[in-house]
Structure formats: C-alpha cells, structure tokens
A and B are shown apart, each in its own frame.
Chain A
Amino acid sequence: MNNPQLDRDGNLKHLLSIEGLPKRILNQILDTAESFVGVAEREVKKVPLLRGKTVCNLFFENSTRTRTTFEIAAKRLSADVISLNVSTSSQSKGETILDTVDNLIAMHADMFVVRHAQSGAAHLIAKHVPPHIHVVNAGDGRHSHPTQGLLDVFTIRKYKPELHNLRIAIVGDVLHSRVARSEIHALTTLGVPEIRVIAPKTLLPTQVEKLGVHVFHDMEAGLKDVDVVMMLRLQNERMSGAMLPSSQEYFKTYGLTQEKLKFAKPDAIVMHPGPMNRGVEIDSNVADGKQSVILPQVTYGIAIRMAVMALLAGGLPAQQESAGGSQTGPAGDA
C-alpha cells in the first residue's frame, strides 16, 4: 500500500496520522515548528507564506480548542480562514461529506482541516481531492489526532531535548484516546527508550504491549523515576458504563496529585492535552504547579500547526513540477 500522506518525491502531502511518517518527516515538522515559535513573540505575529491561500476548517464534531488553534495558526501564516461547523449546517440537510468538500473546492479552497467523529474521515477526503489540495486530520474518531501528538512530542523535546535518555509515562484512558497511539508511535520512532502506560485494565486496549510499551496498573510503580508524565483526559461519558466505578474512585487511584508526582523524577514535567477534568484525572495543585507545562503545550500547538500547514502548502504538486517547469519564467530563482 502506498502512503497517501507523501507525494512521489517523499514530501508531505497530507497529514492524516503519525503512523506511516518516516523519522525524517517528523524531524522536519518539529524543526520547522522551532522556527515558528519565535514568530509569536514578535510585534507582528504573522509571516506571509500562505498569503492568498484559503484554509477551510471542516469540523463535523465540536472542538473549540483545536479549531481555534488551527485558525490562529492559519491566520499567522496569512491565509484566509473559513471555519465551518458542519454538524450544524449542510450535514443536517442531508449533504454528504464529499459533496460539502466539492462545494468548497469549487470556491477554491486550498487546504482542509478536518475533524470528524468517524475514524477515517480525513483519509476519505484526502483520497477524493485533486493533487493541489491538502488535508490535515484534526482528529478522527478514536483513530488519530496527529497534530496533538506532534505538539506533545515538540513540548517534550523543548523541555527534555535528550529523547534517547527519557522515561515517559502515559496515564489514563489509553483505550479511547486518539492521541496516545499517535504519541507512542512518534516517541518510539524518535528513539525514546522507555514508554509506560498506567491505567486500569478496562481503559487499556487489548494487547497494548504490542505497541512496545510497559504496562502498569499502579501509579507508584509506574511513575517511578519518569521524566515526563502525560495525563490523558478521562471522558465523562465513559464513567457511566461498567468501565469505572466513579470519578472519585478514579481520582483516588489514578488522579495525579503532588504526592503521586513525587514518585517521578524531581524535574519531571507534567502534560495534559486538555480540556482538563480537575479533581478527576489531575489535581489543581499539579495542573497549576511549577512542573506543569500544560499551557506551553497550547502555545507550541500553534507553532506545530503552522509548521504542518506551511510544509503542506508550499511547492508545486509533484506531477505538475515534473511535467513542465516552463511556468517559471527567466530568473525565477534566487
């Protein structure tokens, strides 16, 4: 199977999932994001790369934070941005996803940022669009949320640049998390030697060990000497079924408190993808404490999304370039 995310020359064409991205591309995105971090600290927080391009945020499922950060990222690249909350518009009138997409292409959209409750929605759109149009997956079902995974890796690299020496623990609802799998994959690809998951059995996928992680059901043992603690959001809707007794019970066993954080290394950082359930998976003292990098994650998320969009939108599509190249007049270079 050829990789739908890369073009014939091996450049990034769509960002659909971290799985299938070679180390070279992961590093390219992370390094490019590094350059974008500084842009936000300037007087003019914009660069002209995507001037004249139209980015469509297609959100078939609500996610204010993700939509906002994609919107800011696109605007800082000087793109025109349209955010469509599709769940409340055409879909309810019966239009199919691909019809919605075709209509937006007819309006000359250049890039789609897609969020959907169904796994594979972004893949479907990527397969459908013509070659000059790019698709970014902003979360599809339980499957993948690649920019979240990338921004987490970027944050880790910022605080703990020696990825080869790290011990990282992912705590919580790994089963329903679209981020955890992407993250485990990215961290392994980039050479992190030890990744642990800490969760009750009911919140772990079967055969989770096959991802190359160490499984713990106990916070004290699992957090011992880790450099990074990545908390996952416990979705309230999971609480009702047979999976968990109650949120108080969960907090007692798996909620991250200062006491439990002491098992980790003293300089360990605490991460959370948001939105947080204070008092369920994380205690306020920890969330607001000095080891927390939860807000920097949000800031870096913009740089990562800028990097992804800038890498996607630049350059001619592969076949156009190899076909002619005559469209560049004299002195096109330099």
Chain B
Amino acid sequence: MANNHSNSPTPQLPNAEDLLKVLAQKLEPLLQENTALVGIHSGGVWLMQRLLSLLENTISKYKIEHGTLDVSFYRDDYAQRGLKTENRPSQIPFEVENKHIILIDDVFYTGRTTRAAMNELFDYGRPASISLLALVNRGGRELPIAPQIVAAEIPLDASQHLQLTKLADGSLTLELTQHNSARTQEHE
C-alpha cells in the first residue's frame, strides 16, 4: 500500500456521535443559498440525514436541497470485483447545474470513491463546485483528492478497516477491524 504508517496498536477510537457534532459545527458556516448536500451510500447518507436534522434551521433558511449517490456504476474495481448494488439507487432530485455541492462520506481513505462520485455527479450536470466532507480521514490517499471538512484524522495501517455502523437505536459508531490481507479489504 502507498501509505506506510507504523502505528500497529489499535488507536483509541473517538465517539462517532461526538464527531458528528464537530462536523455540524464546521459545516454550518459553509452553507449558503446555492449549496446542495449529497450523501454517498451507506455511511455518507446516514451522516447527511443526521446533519440535516442537526442543522435544520440553516438548511430551511437557505432551502438547501439534498440527494444520495450509489457509486457502484462508477467504481474502478468493477473488472475485478463485479457489480454490487443493494437496491439503493442514486437520487439527485435537484438541478446539479451551478450548484455548490458538498459530498458527504463516512471514512476518507484512497479517494477512489470520491473520484467515482464526482464522475457520477458530472453526468447529472455541471456543478459550480464540489467539496468533500468526511467524518474521519484515515490516511492513505491514492489520488490528488482530499476532504475539505473532517472531524478527525485517524492514521491507520492498510491492514486495518475502519467502518461507520448504524446501531438499532439510530446512533452511529465507528468500528475497527483487522484484515489478514489488504486485498480482501472492502472499498471505502
């Protein structure tokens, strides 16, 4: 893997709900009239839904629209791994043209998901700008893409897999697992 962090001991994971509040604080001043939010399935959509309610007043003040993306059709590992969709179609119910779009993802890793999401967005129209918001930047990017807004930087090994999970009560939590081989790792 491109990154070479030597921190093998499992780091203390922050509470995802605390990070969410940090994220909301950082996001609020960036919201303006022509902004739209787009969550990337699945974690990014959960985050977006929470942010929409946390920032309800600002969202309705500027009439900020939102949508979701499932980037399966744009992934660069289709030839290796095949197509995996879970009946959660992309839904962009607004004009992308000239919007300032804030993409929302849970864990930023290689940047490949963001690349796929940007390609898909451009098939809906030409946005004025795209920025990226992520709950955690885990390090290890492989493309010249980086999130503008993050709540935490948690550098991890390639063998470690960080995932956002939604619990039965609707709250969000971060989970870290160890992989024997980096090849079997899930797309993040």
Which 3 pairs between the two chains have the least Cβ-Cβ distance? A315-B82, A314-B82, A31-B87
Indicate if the CB atoms of A325 and B85 lie closer than 8 Å.
no
- Interface residue tally of chain B, by bracket? 35 or more
Indicate if the CB atoms of B123 and A43 lie closer than 8 Å.
yes
Indicate if the CB atoms of B186 and A334 lie closer than 8 Å.
yes
Which listed residue, B81, B91, B123, touches A44 by the CB 8 Å rule?
Answer: B123
CB of A328 within 8 A of chain B?
yes
Distance between A172 CB and nearest chain B CB, rounded to angstroms: 32
With a CB–CB cut-off of 8 A, which chain A residues contact B74?
Answer: 47-48
Residues on B close to A: CB < 8 A?
1-2, 70, 72-74, 77-83, 85-92, 109-110, 112-113, 119-120, 122-125, 142, 158, 182-188
Complex CA–CA separation, A314 to B184 (angstroms): 17
Indicate if the CB atoms of A334 and B73 lie closer than 8 Å.
no
A-B contact pairs, 24 of them (CB 8 A): A31-B85, A31-B87, A35-B70, A35-B72, A35-B85, A38-B90, A42-B92, A42-B123, A46-B123, A48-B74, A314-B78, A315-B81, A325-B183, A328-B183, A330-B1, A331-B1, A331-B182, A332-B77, A332-B80, A333-B182, A333-B185, A334-B109, A334-B186, A334-B188
Distance between A162 CB and nearest chain B CB, rounded to angstroms: 16
Which listed residue, B92, B109, B119, touches A48 by the CB 8 Å rule?
Answer: B119
Q: Quick one: closest B residue to A327, CB to CB?
A: B80
Q: Quick one: closest B residue to A326, CB to CB?
A: B183
Indicate if the CB atoms of A32 and B85 lie closer than 8 Å.
yes
CB of A34 within 8 A of chain B?
yes
CB of A81 within 8 A of chain B?
no
Which listed residue, A34, A44, A48, A314, touches B83 by the CB 8 Å rule?
Answer: A314
With a CB–CB cut-off of 8 A, which chain B residues contact A124?
Answer: none
Complex CA–CA separation, A332 to B183 (angstroms): 7
Known: A46-B123, A330-B1. 17 other contacts (CB 8 A): A35-B85, A35-B87, A38-B89, A38-B90, A42-B124, A43-B123, A44-B122, A48-B74, A314-B78, A314-B79, A315-B82, A328-B80, A331-B158, A332-B80, A333-B185, A334-B110, A334-B188
Q: Quick one: closest B residue to A48, CB to CB?
A: B74
Indicate if the CB atoms of A32 and B83 lie closer than 8 Å.
yes
In the complex where A32-B83, A38-B89, A332-B80 touch, is A43 in contact with B119 (Cβ < 8 A)? no
